[in-house]
Amino acid sequence: MELAYRWITLANRHYYLYLNRALAQFGLNSSQYLFIIYLCREPGITQDRLPERICINKSNVARTLAQLEKKGLILRKVNPGDKRTATVFPTARAHELYPQIMAVIEAWDDAVTGVLSEREKKSLLEFMQRVADRAAELRGATFAALTKQKSIR
């Protein structure tokens, strides 16, 4: 049986190659753009909540935020509710970039899914949401647990 994950991974690789080229004009790369999107949509989020939103580890969050801060795209402020954490805000420059970043993403999405009918696009979206939800449920699973689950079916 052919593995679905092969095609998901391949599509994702092509997407990230495109993003790196398309976002370079803004001084961003594929590991930074999601921060701008999330921060523009949820300004003032605490830094410790970003790893769960973006699905990357805390050290990568800290490193990327430092890069974006150096570029003048975000501001970190001590969280008044918990002085051990920081709240993160997009700058005016990040707000200016947001629609341009979204246009880059939408252009790729339209081009890639342009080979599908509207019905197929809707089905793909539903399937991928289910797969992503299941992947999130299983992200902490061990190989042994996954193979045991398969033998139960």
Higher pLDDT, 140 or 28: 28
* Average pLDDT rounded to a whole number, residues 128-135: 94
Please report, for residues 50, 52, 107, 130, the alpha-carbon distance to residue 136 in angstroms, rounded to integers and kept in the order given: 15, 10, 27, 10
pLDDT digits (tens, 9 = 90+) for 30-73: 999 999 999 999 999 999 999 988 889 999 999 999 999 999 99
User: 127-148 burial, b if ≥16 CB within 10 A, otherwise e?
Assistant: eeeeeeeeeeeeeeeeeeeeee
Q: The whole model's pTM is what?
A: 0.87
The pLDDT mean for the chain works out to 93
Helices (H), the chain: 4-23, 33-41, 50-54, 58-70, 92-113, 118-138, 143-152
* Mean pLDDT value of segment 74-98: 92
pLDDT of residue 152: 62
